[in-house]
Amino acid sequence: MPTTRAVRDVVFVDGVRTPFGKAGPKGIYAETRADDLIIKVIRELLRRNPSLPPERVDEVAIAATTQIGDQGLTIGRTAALLAGLPKTVPGFAIDRMCAGAMTATTTVASGIAFGAYDVAIAGGVEHMGHHPMGEGVDPNPRFVAEKIVDTSALVMGMTAENLHDRFPEITKERCDAFAAASQRKYGEALAAGKISPDLVSVATRSAEQGWGLATADEPPRPGTTAESLAGLKTPFRPHGRITAGNAAGLNDGATGCILAAEDVAISLGLPVKMRLVSFGFVGVEPEVMGYGPVPSTEKALAKAGLSIDDIGLFELNEAFANQVLAFLDHFGIKDDDPRVNPYGGAIAIGHPLASSGVRLMTQLARQFAEHPEVRYGVTAMCIGIGMGGTVIWENPRWIGEASK
């Protein structure tokens, strides 16, 4: 007789990330290896959670969008070895473009729920300075020749311009205002001590300047206003609406988290910061990939038996301001709703592609601790080539209906 397995509750134990850097020869990680970034994250997770025996880690899943060079070679396994985990701990690499770390998380969480794992590490790394998006790829000519996608589908900035065409009510002025608010909220969260606790410092090197220490995010632009963004160039279309100011930049960085079965986390004395409720991934027209989080959120809500009104906090990846606004408009949420990205988002912090999903989760976990009156939160993002991903989490500190 086959073994009967009960689905187990999966919890988010802890999450950390490196400071995010600007991609390119002047960025803080210009001469730092991509795999060293994720190695540092794995080591920090183990350091912060000393009650977790390293040999109890059953899997290491690390995402990268461009899996070559120093972020190739089955990086989940190689980074685990280099981080000092026992050689008995396996690992793998995963790719779903921007939602790589999100997919690494949901993949190992599924294994935990099924009973294949007790504890796993999931995360992502992207060194866009070493490996620009699309490096080394060879898209099949049938995509265009057979009109499977429009040529704009393969350039994320052009898909964002297409989204403006689809929803003319999402004006450039709204996008610039949202972008300026992201910068402001990040600055306020940083000043209040809400960002730094989840950062792991990284030693950096420069042939000219010697060794340094990355302790803070490099992309934020304090003092940004909607007025200062109004005159920026629109690189994807003449007289367009997408600029460097209302979109995430090109960035380097890594993230990671520990996931566990809830009973195992408790038995090991590990913190329980969030409880996984449901998740959903969907495909949409690649030409308007920014719309992806709308149907993926609808799918995740339906799987959980929840409605959008049940969600008290939203961590939405700001690849472009307009794709967040498309989400908010669809669900009837105001542009400045305080539940949305309370610490700012990728427009300020940066978006090192495959790593960003776990940044959303780590920030949501911290917000749950601040808001015991909130029971459910969402992490969601658009994904290149026309997809969306959403994960719904429950706050273990929720104090019940009486709080409402």
List, by residue number, the catalytic residues: 98, 351, 382
Residue with tokens 């206003």: 225
- Rounded distance between C-alpha atoms, residue 204 and residue 292, angstroms: 36
- Rounded distance between C-alpha atoms, residue 338 and residue 273, angstroms: 21
User: Which of 367, 328, 326 is closest to 344 using CA atoms?
Assistant: 367
**DSSP label at residue 199:** B
Strand partners, 36: none
User: Which of 333, 315, 328 is closest to 377 using CA atoms?
Assistant: 315
Q: For residues 251-285, b (16+ Cβ closer than 10 Å) or e, as one string?
A: bbbbbbbbbbbbebbeebebbbbbbbbbbbbbebe
Determine the 3-state secondary structure of 344 from DSSP: coil
- Rounded distance between C-alpha atoms, residue 90 and residue 103, angstroms: 17
Asked if residue 250 lies in contact with residue 354, where contact means CB atoms within 8 angstroms, the answer is: no
What's the distance, CA 87 to chain centroid?
Answer: 28
- Rounded distance between C-alpha atoms, residue 210 and residue 369, angstroms: 39
Asked if residue 246 lies in contact with residue 235, where contact means CB atoms within 8 angstroms, the answer is: no
Exposed, middle or buried: residue 223 (CB in 10 Å: 0-12, 13-18, 19+)? exposed
